[in-house]
Amino acid sequence: MTDDMPSGRIFFSNTGRSLTEEDQICVLSAGVDIGSSTSHLVFSRIVLERLDSRYVVTEREAFFESDILLTPYAAEEMIDAAELGRFIARQYAEAEVDPDEIDTGALILTGMTFNIASFVGAIMMVGILGENAIFVIHEARQELRQGRSVEDAWAGAARRRLRPVAMTILATAFALAPLALALGEGSQLQQPLAIAVIGGFVLSGPLVLLVLPALYSWLDPMGRLASST
């Protein structure tokens, strides 16, 4: 369906048209976000205008946003596709949009969300990261008190803590892998916590063994750490 515009341009409100012949095109977009906890839809209207040999977005409007739906599950690890489909159909009806009018869109499967379980995992990682940092600082202090230079002291401390840190990371990753992969009954409830802990351990290795020594060497080039209690 087309309408002649006053400027002589042709305005389109549906698909099946050639992008090489129109000066202005209006497309409808539907964005569907399906997460492990919640799901929702957004309908948008986008206006494209020709600029030489290409099109640019001149107007973008989100004209309808659905309610937030608690993602329905048919089983412990299986989303209820039928119920989700009914929810999507209701939102199309409320937005007064026919599915055939949609020109483009996106389906986003967000997977894990940052919930209370992952927050607990993040809190645990703060304590573990601090403990590892204390061990590295203690090793460096001992090296400085033995008369070694600042660079050698921190390099030696990082080398000596490399094996314990690596063993801790690997042991944690293997131990929590079944939870992180949601293997076994009921493991999905603890999956965000396992992912947060594993990710935190992997991130803590470079922070403790590389960033901390470099930062301390820069802030304390004279090795005053050796005289601290």
Q: Is the pLDDT of residue 212 over 70?
A: yes
97-119 per-position pLDDT tens digit: 888 877 666 655 545 555 566 67
pLDDT at 199: 83
Q: What is the dihedral of CA 108, 109, 112, 115, to 10 degrees?
A: 50
Q: Is the pLDDT of residue 4 over 50?
A: no
Q: Is the pLDDT of residue 9 over 50?
A: no
Q: Is the pLDDT of residue 146 over 70?
A: yes
pLDDT at 129: 83
Q: Is the pLDDT of residue 15 over 50?
A: no
Rg of the chain's alpha carbons, rounded to an integer?
A: 28
Q: Which residues of 43-65 are buried (b: 16+ CB within 10 A; e: fewer)?
A: bbbbbbebeeeebeeeeeeeebe
Q: Is the pLDDT of residue 217 over 60?
A: yes
Phi-psi region of 61 (alpha: psi -120 to 50; beta: other; left: phi over 0): beta
The average pLDDT across 32-44 equals 82
The average pLDDT across 120-143 equals 84
pLDDT at 169: 87
Q: Is the pLDDT of residue 49 over 80?
A: no
147-164 per-position pLDDT tens digit: 888 888 899 899 999 998
Q: Is the pLDDT of residue 6 over 70?
A: no
Mean pLDDT, the chain, whole residue set? 77
pLDDT at 97: 86
In the chain the domains, ranked by start, together with CATH numbers, are 2-111 (3.30.420), 116-227 (1.20.1640.10)
56, two tokens: 């640019």
Q: Is the pLDDT of residue 12 over 60?
A: no
